[in-house]
Chains A and B, each alone.
Chain A
Amino acid sequence: MATYSLHLAHLYGDLLNTYGDVGNILALRYYANLMDADLTTKVISIEQSFDPDQFDLAFFGGGQDYEQMIVSKDIQTKKDGIVKFINDDKPMLAICGGYQLLGHYYIGADGEKIQGIGALDHYTLSQDHHRFIGDITIKNEQTGETYHGFENHNGKTYTGKSEQPLGVVVDGHGNNGEDHQEGAIYKQTYCSYFHGPILTRNGELAKRMLLKALHNKYPDADLSAQEALEIKPTF
Chain B
Amino acid sequence: MSVRSTLATAAGKSSYWFLHTFLHGGSSLPGKITTAIDPNILKAFGKKYDVVIITGTNGKTLTTALSVRVLKQKYDNVLTNPTGSNMEQGIVTTFITAQKSKRGKTLAILEVDEANVVKVTKYITPIAFVFTNLFRDQMDRYGEIYTTYDKILAGVKLAPEATIIANGDEQIFNSRELPNPIIYYGFNHQLAGDIKAPANTDGLLCPKCNHILHFGFITYANLGDYFCPHCGFRRPTLNYQVNKLTELTPTSSTFEIDHHEYKVMIGGMYNIYNALAAYALGRFLDVSQDQIQTAFEADKKVFGRQEVINVDGKQVTLILVKNPVGLNQVLDMILTDNDPFSFVGLLNANYADGIDTSWIWDGNFEKLKEHAIPAFMTGGERYKDITFRLKVAGIDDPITEPDLAKVVDKLKTLPTKKVYILATYTAVLQLRKQLAEQGYIKEGMEA
A residues sitting closer than 8 Å to B (CB atoms) are 10, 13-15, 17-23, 26-27, 29-30, 43, 45-47, 64-67, 70, 131, 133-134, 150, 152, 154, 195-197, 200, 234-235
Contacts and interface: CB of A to CB of B under 8 A. Distances in A.
Given A67-B205, A70-B210, A22 B197 contact: no
A150 B197 contact: no
B201 interface: yes
A18 B200 contact: no
A234 B388 contact: yes
Interface in B170-209: 196-197, 199-202, 204-205
B144 A14 contact: no
A195 B356 contact: yes
Contacts of A197: 358, 361
B361 A18 contact: no
Interface string B376-411: 000000001100110111000000000000000000
A21 B200 CA distance: 9
A135 to B, nearest CB: 8
24 contacts: A13-B199, A14-B199, A14-B200, A19-B356, A20-B358, A20-B359, A20-B361, A20-B362, A22-B361, A23-B389, A29-B392, A64-B141, A64-B202, A65-B141, A66-B146, A70-B205, A131-B140, A133-B355, A133-B356, A150-B356, A150-B358, A152-B141, A200-B389, A235-B385
Nearest to A61: B200
Contacts of A131: 140-141
Contact of A152 (B197, B204, B211, B356): B356
B204 to A, nearest CB: 6
B140 A22 contact: no
B356 A18 contact: no
B205 A196 contact: no
A151 to B, nearest CB: 9
B199 A18 contact: no
Interface in B102-158: 136, 138, 140-141, 144-146
Given A20-B358, A64-B141, A13 B200 contact: yes
B388 A10 contact: no
Interface in B343-370: 355-362
A154 B141 contact: yes
Contacts of A154: 141
B36 to A, nearest CB: 27
Interface of B: 136, 138, 140-141, 144-146, 196-197, 199-202, 204-205, 210-212, 324, 355-362, 384-385, 388-389, 391-393
B388 A200 contact: yes
B141 A18 contact: yes
A133 B200 CA distance: 23
A195 B359 CA distance: 10
Contacts of B391: 30
B146 A46 contact: no
Nearest to B202: A17
Contacts of B360: 20
Interface-central residue, B210, B355, B358, B391, by most chain A CB under 10 Å: B358
A19 B358 CA distance: 6
A50 B113 CA distance: 42
A22 B200 contact: yes
A20 B202 CA distance: 12
Contacts of B196: 14
A43 B356 contact: no
Given A13-B200, A46-B212, A65 B392 contact: no
A29 B393 CA distance: 10
Contact of A235 (B361, B384, B392): B384
Contacts of A23: 358, 361-362, 389, 392
Given A22-B361, A64-B141, 19 more contacts: A10-B199, A14-B201, A14-B212, A17-B362, A20-B362, A21-B358, A64-B136, A65-B144, A65-B146, A66-B144, A67-B205, A70-B205, A133-B355, A133-B356, A150-B357, A195-B358, A196-B356, A200-B361, A234-B384
Contacts of B210: 70
Q: Which 5 A-B pairs have the closest CB atoms?
A: A23-B361, A20-B361, A20-B358, A234-B388, A64-B144
A30 B118 CA distance: 47
A70 B141 CA distance: 16
B356 to A, nearest CB: 5
